[in-house]
């Protein structure tokens, strides 16, 4: 199915990866204002989190992404991509929350979300995306264990799949 909103989200993410963070953020904020679908809202919030200027704002968007998740069904996800299942969103959503809580100094919350991400790993595909999420979980786990609150990599280098 062609989904114009998901296409705009994809283009915004390309803008971000290409260095136009302000343009990507403006596009996603505009889309957020009219999005009325859990797939769209979860994905928009997930990407908008990485475009924030503060850990607090990033946390707010990551929490919004997770809050939208319960409305996402496998059927809706597969309308966009026949290979997707809703549960496969959880490792990345919880990974982001684990990392942002870690950077905010909330080690207990970071560990909670890390545990939730690991519990949903079986939903990830056995592809480059799945490997990237698994590797990132290991990085976040190590950073939590060492007490680091430093960013692991610039958000513009992170590649996500909703």
Q: What is the mean pLDDT of each run of 10 residues along the chain (162 residues)?
A: 90 96 98 96 97 97 98 95 93 97 97 98 93 96 96 56 52
pLDDT of residue 1: 56
pTM for this structure? 0.91
Work out the burial of residue 110: count CB atoms within 10 Å of its CB; fewer than 13 is exposed, 13-18 middle, 19 or more buried: buried
50: CB partners within 8 A, 6+ apart: 16, 58, 96, 155, 158, 160
């Amino acid at each position: 199915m062609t989904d114009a909103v998901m296409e705009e989200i994809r283009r915004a993410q390309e803008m971000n990866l290409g260095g136009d963070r302000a343009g990507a953020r403006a596009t996603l904020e505009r889309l957020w204002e009219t999005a009325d679908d859990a797939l769209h809202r979860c994905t928009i919030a997930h990407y908008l989190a990485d475009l924030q200027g503060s850990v607090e704002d990033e946390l707010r968007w990551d929490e919004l992404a997770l809050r939208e998740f319960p409305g996402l069904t496998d059927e809706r996800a597969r309308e966009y991509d026949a290979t997707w299942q809703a549960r496969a969103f959880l490792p990345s959503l919880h990974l982001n929350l684990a990392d942002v809580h870690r950077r905010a100094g909330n080690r207990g919350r970071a560990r909670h979300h890390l545990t939730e991400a690991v519990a949903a790993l079986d939903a990830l595909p056995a592809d480059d995306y799945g490997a990237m999420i698994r590797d990132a979980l290991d990085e976040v786990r190590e950073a939590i264990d060492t007490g680091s609150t430093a960013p692991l990599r610039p958000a513009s280098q992170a590649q996500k799949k909703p």
